[in-house]
Structure formats: structure tokens, C-alpha cells
Amino acid sequence: MKILPASNSWSRAFARVCAVVLIVAALSPASAEEQSLKDGAKRAGHAVGSVAHDIGHGAKKVGKEIGQGAKEAGKAIGGAAKEGGKEFKRAVKGG
């Protein structure tokens, strides 16, 4: 289970969102004649939403991997417990 890399990917994703917002803000024209503030905010919102959407898909993927790992660990533990029970039963029966 890799929790640290997942948190690092969240940090990287947050940094990307901030960078996109700053770039969009820097590229939007300074004069109201070229483009309104509302349009600039709308573009920034779309950019941030797109990145947030990608982050959500990444989180879903990580969640599925964690679930699969837990499933496999559960199967291994269950199998070991079953075998331990069989050995105990043999030991009690004496054979």
C-alpha cells in the first residue's frame, strides 16, 4: 500500500491547479475592452474544474488499487487461518 506517493500526487495536483489559475490570470487581458472579467473567471473556472476532474479520476484509481490489495490480503489471511484450523484439528485428533 503506497500512501505516501498518493499524498505526493495530491500535492503535485494542487500545485498544478494553482499554476493553471496563475497562468490564466496572467494571460487574461488587463483592459475590460478586450475581454470582461467574467469571461476570464469563467475560463479559469473551466481550467480548475478540468484539473479537479483529473484528480478525481486519479483518486478513484488509487482507491481501487487499495481495495484490491485489501482483498488479496484478506484472502491470504483467511487461507492461512483455514490451514491453521485444519492443523489444529489434526493435532487434537492425534493424526
Measured at the alpha carbon of residue 21, what is the angle toward residues 12 and 7, in degrees to the nearest 5?
15
Domain boundaries, the chain: 3-93
Asked whether the whole model's pTM tops 0.85, one would answer no
pLDDT digits (tens, 9 = 90+) for 37-77: 777 778 888 888 888 888 888 888 889 999 999 999 999 99
| Residues 45-77: b if buried by 16+ CB within 10 A, e if exposed | eebbeebeeebeeeeeebeeeeeeeeeeeeeee
State the chain's mean pLDDT as an integer: 78
Q: What pLDDT is attached to residue 27?
A: 64
> Are 51 and 16 within 8 A, CB to CB?
yes
Neighbouring residues of 54: CB distance < 8 A, sequence distance ≥ 6: 13
Q: pLDDT band at 15, cuts 50/70/90?
A: confident
**Percent of the chain at pLDDT exceeding 70:** 74
